[in-house]
């Protein structure tokens, strides 16, 4: 039996529209440097009225099914903090839309932005138990804050799909992991709200506390030394946070956190998040996609992953890039997912932000806006109706 398990394929999708931060700054009078430099963001993906976590997830997963087929996929793990139902897993809709067999288990995981890493680790356990199977891990979220709130500029939307298997073509995930949990109210969304609540300073402090905690535990479990890593993929609620986090990790280990060293370690990982915005559970793995798409050959080199979810749970783990990985990348498709978005003005953005399907259980259709392969057509009898385009 192979002991090598990890990410065999990775694909992502994002929303139909994009709001440049120059447009947001012109509306609210903010100096653009506070966005481009202060938080490290240039634009944010905005879903169409007929897009949600299911349509983005299906769009991300469909290319994986097209390349690898469905015969070995026995499990779908859907990670999100933008859940559309308190009972039914969003992944069941995806299962139907992309044509997976009925002999499949489908579950939904939740723990803020950390959920996809839990899904990845659970998938590794399943594959270790039965190496013949593959697990489809999907992370899909729409980051949404109140209009005119401090968090508004960090919004975004995206889905990442990862196929986990033995003998992976991209990244072999290693043992051990460093773990950390603390009961913190830095970011949360009660059931009665569709926008999140956040204490910005508390959240930054909680994130940095988690960086220390996971690294300390990772070292106690016998993990790699800091010098062994060629790059680091951090959760990026805004890309400047990744820089803060890595500077903190360097200082915590007695290193000088000069700008050049930090940029060398993670600069390539921020390219997609910088223009998509916060994608919650998908964020770390958008960072991995950006790294693999841009870096020189990383074969045999170690990448550190720091996954943080407010509230809070975090994990640090390592992966080794596999020989020949460049032949399996989706670089062109990834870049097309970003450049295909249509830029909208502030009025269009505000209308999309305020769009809601009625909750009366009647028959309501959504306007046709997305040009993607799947859409949320509407609702009838409290049931969401999805269709392929």
Rounded distance, CA 21 to CA 24, Å? 5
Q: Which two tokens stand for residue 176?
A: 């051990």
Determine contact, residues 197/204, Cβ cutoff 8 Å.
Answer: no
Partners of 111 in beta bridges:
113
Determine contact, residues 16/342, Cβ cutoff 8 Å.
Answer: yes
Determine contact, residues 37/90, Cβ cutoff 8 Å.
Answer: no
**Those residues with Cβ within 8 angstroms of residue 21's Cβ, 6 or more apart along the chain or in another chain:** 32, 35, 36, 41, 42, 43, 44, 153
C-alpha count within 13 angstroms, C-beta hemisphere, residue 265: 24
Partners of 232 in beta bridges:
304
- The catalytic site residues sit at 81, 113, 235
Rounded distance, CA 376 to CA 90, Å? 13
Q: Look at residues 273, 341, 349 and name the one whose alpha carbon lies nearest to residue 24.
A: 349
Rounded distance, CA 385 to CA 389, Å? 13
Rounded distance, CA 36 to CA 33, Å? 5
């Amino acid at each position: 039996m192979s002991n090598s398990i990890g990410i065999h394929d990775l694909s992502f999708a994002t929303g139909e529209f994009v709001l440049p931060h120059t447009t947001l700054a012109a509306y609210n009078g903010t100096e653009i440097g506070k966005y481009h430099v202060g938080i490290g963001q240039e634009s944010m993906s905005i879903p169409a009225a007929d897009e949600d976590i299911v349509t983005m997830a299906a769009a991300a997963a469909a290319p994986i099914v097209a390349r690898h087929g469905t015969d070995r996929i026995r499990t779908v793990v859907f990670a999100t903090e933008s859940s559309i139902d308190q009972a039914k897993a969003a992944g069941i809709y995806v299962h139907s839309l992309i044509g997976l067999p009925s002999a499949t288990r489908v579950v939904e995981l939740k723990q803020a932005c950390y959920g996809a890493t839990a899904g990845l680790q659970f998938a590794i356990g399943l594959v270790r138990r039965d190496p013949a199977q593959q697990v489809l891990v999907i992370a899909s979220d729409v980051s949404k804050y109140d209009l005119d709130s401090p968090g508004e500029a960090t919004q975004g939307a995206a889905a990442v799909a990862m196929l986990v298997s033995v003998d992976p073509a991209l990244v072999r995930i290693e043992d051990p992991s460093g773990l950390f949990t603390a009961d913190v109210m830095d970011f949360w969304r009660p059931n009665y709200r569709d926008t999140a609540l956040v204490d910005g300073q508390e959240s930054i402090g909680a994130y940095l506390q988690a960086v220390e905690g996971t690294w300390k535990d990772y070292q106690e479990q016998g993990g790699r030394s800091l010098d062994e890593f060629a790059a680091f993929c951090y959760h990026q609620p805004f890309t400047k946070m990744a820089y803060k986090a890595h500077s903190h990790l360097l200082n915590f280990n007695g290193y000088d956190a000069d700008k050049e060293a930090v940029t060398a370690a993670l600069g390539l990982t921020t390219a997609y998040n910088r223009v998509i915005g916060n994608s919650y559970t998908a964020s770390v793995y958008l960072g991995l996609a950006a790294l693999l798409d841009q870096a020189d050959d990383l074969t045999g080199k170690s990448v550190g992953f720091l996954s943080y979810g407010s509230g809070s749970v975090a994990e640090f783990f390592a992966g080794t890039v596999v020989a020949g990985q460049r032949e399996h990348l989706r670089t062109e498709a990834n870049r097309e997912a970003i450049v295909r978005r249509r830029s909208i003005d502030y009025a269009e953005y505000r209308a999309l932000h305020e769009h809601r399907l009625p909750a009366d259980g009647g028959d309501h259709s959504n306007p046709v806006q997305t040009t993607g392969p799947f859409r949320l057509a509407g609702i009838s009898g409290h049931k969401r109706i999805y269709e392929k385009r």
